[in-house]
A and B are shown apart, each in its own frame.
Chain A
Amino acid sequence: MSKIGPQFFAGLLFADGVFNRKLIFGVCVLALLAVIFLNRELRAVFWGPSRVASGDASTVRPMPRRRLLAAYAVAAVIIGGSFYDFAADRETWPFSQYPMFSFIDAPPDGKFTILRLYGVTPQPSVEFPLDRNEYLEPFDNSRLQNALERNIGQQQLAIALKDCLQRYDALRASGVHQGPVLQSLRLYRVTWTPNPQASNLNAPDSREFVGEVFENGSSER
């Protein structure tokens, strides 16, 4: 097959039988530009900023055409990329559909479940939540949950927990926090029904053990 047949064009528009939105988006943009450039008057208006009226020559500096195109290109990349992500409801950082706080992800009573690390002290063995950001920075409570969630059910969970324990120890040694010495680190799935006093912060509805890692390197699941 040395000729380009109609299948090629069909494939271009309907890649793998799926309506290819990226391509259609691009085709629409090109069509719009074609409409502008095929019309002489519109073309003149488009290039308007790169020309000056004869009377303004000494008071206004026109934009070179390549600069005009560069400005449009930057705007097209940023705005086009962002609207494409919005249309596709996906996030391809630094483009985004900005979905923060968009989802109603809790029942009417607001019950929610998160992963939380607890430190366990040696002699006497006391468990306390590692809920202050300085215990495990640069992770914060928001990022750490997602980062740990992705490793649950995998061999890597022990490595992830070990990294957290080492981080806690290193930050403690450097004086970033004044937390106690730990003998182990436990990961729980914790559920709360929030109240407007946050009075049950230390008494969650339930806790489900997920894994534990010890200072000597051993782990448990």
Chain B
Amino acid sequence: MSIKSILRRWNHFWFEPVAPDNLGLCRIILYGSMFLFYVFTPWLFKSWGWHEDFALWGNVSRVFWRPVWLLATLHLPPLPTSYLLVIQSVWRLALFLSCVGLLTRVSTAVSFIFGVYLMGLPNSFGRTHHLDQLLIWAFLVMAVSRCGDAWSIDALVRKARGRTATARQDPLPSGEYTWPVHLIWVISAMIYLEAGLSKLRHSGISWVTTDMMRNYLMRAYYHVSDSEPLTSWGLFIAQSHHLAKLFAAGALMLEVGFVIALFSRRSRWVLVPGVVAMQTGIAALMGPNFYQMIMCQAMWVPWDRVVRWLAGRVDDLAESGQHRGIERAGQVAAIPEPQLPDTPKAPSTR
């Protein structure tokens, strides 16, 4: 294979011209789910939802402050609660506007910039968690992309204001609408690959063959994690050395092998639900919840096809309903009127 053909394939992967629908729908799902997540979890899930309320960090003593690299480099301090409340409210509003696609350029940029600061805050107090990095990168990609070209209020406004027929048309297919979604795929695959390779680098195959996973599972029930395990099944698994090792092997294979999903459509049917199940399993057995990462896996779904399929189903149902109606009407028309003996016919009203 020549370098030229590799580059052609490269171009096809990143910049294959497609309609803007999938990117627009991905925008709705990403920002919509995150808006709901960050607004409602502090109220709905009292035991861990407060993690998503960043304003709480405003009254924590500065003795705990160890800023992460980006906040340290930009000399961003921890702001007081009143300021954080404002920033958080603006951020949540930006998430909503990004979802509906109103002022999409500005709202996606605000979602990213304020999101970086807000998500960097907790990580600057004690320990860096890895729950939201994929989300931050997805926000950056969306902010640079033209994700507001379809399925957005901006697009509706543009069409309504369009003076020429061309201006009122949907945007033509373009590579602009491919690279953002595929870049989020690549970042997702990279994160899992690095997580898997880190395990092999620091522990080697011993990560699977020793009781490491069993120890992690048991330790989770000693209240050491950011969230409590959702179930006590981890202790059940820890009773069996072999079962725990099997889980370790499965997790490592998924992490290292997830990159295959970039190249094989078939493998996506296994690998994407696989990592979602793995991360749900971590929350159930060990506590840490990666809900933001789980939601980002929704970018693997071809939402434009899903919507087309749903629309087709609705059309089919409506059509078959019409047919049934016509048939029924036909049947009714075909039923001969019962000939009742000695019953005089009603006079016509016409």
> Hey, which bits of chain B sit against chain A, CB under 8 A?
3-4, 7-8, 11, 14-15, 17, 46-48, 50-51, 53, 56-57, 60-61, 63-64, 66, 68-70, 116, 119-120, 122-123, 125-130, 133, 136-137, 140-141, 144, 171-176, 179-180, 183, 186-187, 190-191, 194-195, 197-199, 201-203, 206-207, 210-212, 214-216, 218-219, 221-228, 235-236, 238-239, 288
- The reply to whether B224 and A141 contact each other, CB–CB distance below 8 Å, is yes
The one of B51, B190, B222, B225 that contacts A138, using a Cβ cutoff of 8 Å: B51
Question: How far apart are the CA atoms of A145 and B129 in the complex, in Å?
Answer: 13
Question: How far apart are the CA atoms of A71 and B23 in the complex, in Å?
Answer: 15
With A82-B190, A86-B194, A139-B125 known as contacts, the answer to whether A112 contacts B212 (CB < 8 A) is no
> Hey, which bits of chain A sit against chain B, CB under 8 A?
36, 41-42, 45-46, 48-49, 56, 58-63, 67-68, 70-71, 74-75, 78-79, 82-83, 86, 89, 91-104, 106, 108, 110, 112, 114, 129, 131-134, 137-148, 150-151, 156, 159-160, 162-163, 167, 192, 194-198, 201
With A96-B128, A159-B63 known as contacts, the answer to whether A141 contacts B218 (CB < 8 A) is no
The one of B11, B53, B70, B127 that contacts A48, using a Cβ cutoff of 8 Å: B11
Q: Chain B interface secondary structure, helix, strand, loop or mixed? A: helix
- The reply to whether A94 and B133 contact each other, CB–CB distance below 8 Å, is yes
Question: How far apart are the CA atoms of A112 and B206 in the complex, in Å?
Answer: 18
Contact partners of B57 in chain A: CB under 8 A:
138
- The reply to whether A74 and B141 contact each other, CB–CB distance below 8 Å, is yes
For residue A176, give the distance in angstroms from its CB to the closest CB of chain B: 8
Question: How far apart are the CA atoms of A26 and B209 in the complex, in Å?
Answer: 38
- The reply to whether B226 and A198 contact each other, CB–CB distance below 8 Å, is no
For residue B177, give the distance in angstroms from its CB to the closest CB of chain A: 10
Name A192's closest neighbour in chain B (CB-CB): B222
25 A-B contacts, Cβ less than 8 Å apart? A48-B15, A62-B174, A63-B175, A70-B144, A71-B15, A75-B186, A82-B187, A86-B198, A89-B201, A94-B70, A94-B119, A98-B191, A98-B195, A110-B218, A114-B224, A134-B47, A137-B50, A139-B126, A143-B125, A143-B127, A163-B61, A194-B218, A194-B219, A195-B218, A196-B218
